[in-house]
């Protein structure tokens, strides 16, 4: 789409809201006003900064115009500039992976490190590292397994996700919030609060896919990706991450199914005070379970 090596900056995908022009709901206890489907436009990460050029506009336009289009040249969009944006989007306090490299230590020679990483990604010499297995408690007393990726894996994953978002963001509807750039569980709760406040609602259904991350069928995941992605180098990168395995107590384990949960997100197992304030404002505080997990990008 764009010439090899051209700076693309970060992806700022946009999506029109389902009810563009509709009135916003009343403000909720000091929070910004709740919106029925929130502002449809996804927002850049805090470190991307305003006015960062995308360079993926043509990819996004083709994806919007032709829902059956398959993209054969995407990896060249993973530029040094995009890797830098990805690095800055990672929380400096994020836990280190199996290699022990922290955000701060990597940043001591950041330009050289990112240039070396860029060359390895583009040449095919990049190797994914196993994730570090840790466990956090769940609300029901069980333990949730997380996989902490190495810093370079996080950087490349974020950069690739930014490229793929240009394709997949145009397919999402305005009421979709999960793992989308610039959206959070709080936005979904704002929309739920506004909807239940303004309309007569008899039922609210809370559904979850049991053990989704640990039972994900990797073969079917790749088949779904191949509906839109025909760049073999991008697909090879994703396969590397799926096949990297995990290290727990010093031992490596293969992951023939599933994918490590937490590569780009760190789960916080805290009481959902923010959610409680939103739901309480519309008389739905009883729907919030104490100890529910929330997630924050790493």
Q: Does residue 213 contact residue 261 with C-beta atoms inside 8 Å?
A: yes
Q: Does residue 56 contact residue 9 with C-beta atoms inside 8 Å?
A: no
Burial 56-79 (b: 16+ CB within 10 A, else e): beebbeebeeeeeeebeebbbbbb
Strands ordered across the beta sheet of 246-248 = 143-148, 131-137, 246-248, 251-253
82-131, pLDDT tens digit by residue? 999 999 999 999 889 999 999 999 999 999 999 999 999 999 999 999 99
Percent of the chain with pLDDT over 90: 43
Q: Which residue is listed with tokens 């936005």?
A: 187
* DSSP-based three-state secondary structure for 146: strand
Q: Is the pTM of this model over 0.75?
A: no
38-65, pLDDT tens digit by residue? 444 444 333 333 334 457 899 999 999 9
Q: Residue 161 above 50 pLDDT?
A: yes
295 or 184, greater pLDDT = 184
- pLDDT score of 106: 97
Q: Does residue 20 contact residue 38 with C-beta atoms inside 8 Å?
A: no
Query: Can you give the length of the chain in residues?
Result: 298
Q: List Cα–Cα distances, 151 to 148, 181, 259, in angstroms.
A: 9, 20, 17
Listed ranges 47-51, 87-91, 258-262, 269-273; the one with the highest mean pLDDT? 87-91
Q: Does residue 174 contact residue 15 with C-beta atoms inside 8 Å?
A: yes
Percent of the chain with pLDDT over 70: 69
Q: Does residue 82 contact residue 159 with C-beta atoms inside 8 Å?
A: yes
Q: Residue 295 above 90 pLDDT?
A: no
């Amino acid at each position: 789409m764009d010439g090899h090596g051209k700076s693309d900056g970060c992806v700022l995908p946009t999506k029109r809201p389902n009810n563009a022009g509709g009135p916003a709901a009343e403000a909720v206890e000091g929070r910004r006003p709740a919106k029925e489907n929130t502002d449809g436009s996804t927002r850049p990460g805090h470190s991307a900064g305003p006015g960062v050029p995308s360079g993926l506009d043509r990819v996004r336009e083709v994806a919007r115009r032709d829902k059956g289009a398959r993209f054969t040249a995407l990896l060249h969009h993973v530029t040094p500039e995009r890797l830098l944006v990805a690095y800055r989007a990672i929380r400096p306090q994020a836990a280190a992976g199996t290699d022990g490299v922290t955000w701060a230590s990597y940043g001591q020679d950041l330009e050289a490190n990112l240039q070396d990483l860029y060359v390895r990604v583009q040449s095919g010499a990049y190797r994914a590292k196993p994730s570090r297995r840790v466990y956090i408690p769940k609300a029901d007393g069980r333990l949730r397994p997380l996989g902490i990726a190495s810093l370079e894996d996080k950087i490349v994953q974020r950069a690739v996700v930014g490229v793929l978002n240009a394709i997949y963001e145009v397919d999402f509807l305005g009421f979709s919030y999960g793992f989308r750039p610039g959206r959070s569980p709080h936005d979904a709760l704002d929309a739920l609060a506004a909807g239940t406040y303004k309309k007569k609602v008899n039922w609210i259904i809370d559904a979850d896919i049991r053990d989704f991350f640990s039972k994900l069928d990797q073969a079917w995941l790749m088949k779904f990706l191949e509906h839109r992605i025909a760049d073999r180098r991008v697909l090879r990168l994703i396969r590397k991450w799926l096949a990297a395995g995990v290290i727990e107590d010093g031992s490596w384990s293969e992951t023939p199914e599933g994918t490590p949960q937490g590569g780009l997100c760190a789960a916080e197992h805290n009481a959902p005070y923010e959610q409680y304030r939103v739901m309480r404002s519309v008389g739905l505080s009883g729907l919030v379970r104490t100890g529910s997990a929330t997630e924050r990008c790493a």
